[in-house]
Homo-oligomer: A and B are copies of this chain.
Amino acid sequence: MQLYSELFSKTRKEAPKDEVSRNAQLLIRAGFINKEMAGVYSYLPLGLRVLRKIENIIREEMNALGGQEILMTTLQDSSVWKKSGRWSESVVDNWFKTKLVNNGEELGIANTHEEPLTQLLTNHVRSHNDLPLYIYQIQTKFRNELRAKSGLMRGREFLMKDLYSFSENEEDFREFYEKCAESYLSIFKRVGLGEVVFRTFASGGSFSKFSDEFQALSDAGEDIIYVDDTKRIAVNKEVYTPEVLSSLSLSKESLQEKKAIEVGNIFPLGTRYAEVIGLSYLDDAGKRQHPYMGSYGIGLGRLMGAVVEILSDDKGIVWPEEIAPYEYHLIVLGEGEVEKRAMRIADELEKKGASVLIDERNVSGGVKFSDADLIGIPHQLIVGEKTLEKEGFVECKERKSNKISMVEVNTLYE
Contacts and interface: CB of A to CB of B under 8 A. Distances in A.
The interface centre, meaning the residue of A7, A31, A120 with most chain B CB atoms within 10 A of its CB, is A120
Nearest to A96: B98
A144 B68 contact: no
Contacts of A76: 36
A8 B135 contact: yes
A51 interface: yes
A42 B73 contact: yes
Contacts of A142: 74-75
A357 to B, nearest CB: 13
A151 to B, nearest CB: 14
Interface string A74-94: 111100000000000000011
Interface size class of A (residues with CB under 8 A): 35 or more
Interface string A130-154: 1001010000101011110000000
A120 B69 CA distance: 33
A221 to B, nearest CB: 22
B43 A9 contact: no
Nearest to A101: B144
Given A40-B75, A75-B156, A123-B12, A70 B97 contact: no
Nearest to A103: B146
Nearest to A109: B98
Given A8-B135, A12-B123, A70 B96 contact: no
Tell me whether chain A's interface is mostly helix, strand or loop, or mixed.
Answer: mixed
A265 interface: no
Contact of A73 (B41, B45, B48, B146): B41
A275 to B, nearest CB: 20
Contacts of A98: 96-98, 109
Contacts of A125: 8
Contacts of A74: 74, 140, 142, 157
A37 B105 CA distance: 12
A51 B37 CA distance: 30
A23 B110 CA distance: 26
Contacts of A94: 101
B37 A77 contact: yes
A65 B339 CA distance: 25
Given A98-B97, A102-B147, A75 B37 contact: yes
Interface string A325-358: 0000000000000000000000000000000000
Nearest to A147: B102
Contact of A34 (B44, B75, B123, B147): B123
Given A73-B42, A101-B93, A142-B74, A10 B109 contact: no
Interface string A181-216: 000000000000000000000000000000000000
A72 interface: yes
Contacts of A135: 8
A248 interface: no
Given A98-B109, A102-B147, A42 B8 contact: no
Interface of A: 5, 7-10, 12, 31, 34, 36-37, 40-45, 48, 51, 68-77, 93-94, 96-102, 107, 109, 116, 120-121, 123-125, 129-130, 133, 135, 140, 142, 144-147, 156-157
30 contacts: A5-B129, A8-B121, A8-B124, A8-B133, A8-B135, A36-B72, A36-B75, A36-B76, A36-B77, A40-B73, A40-B75, A40-B77, A42-B72, A42-B73, A42-B116, A44-B70, A45-B70, A74-B74, A74-B140, A74-B142, A74-B157, A75-B96, A75-B142, A93-B101, A96-B107, A97-B98, A101-B144, A102-B146, A102-B147, A140-B140
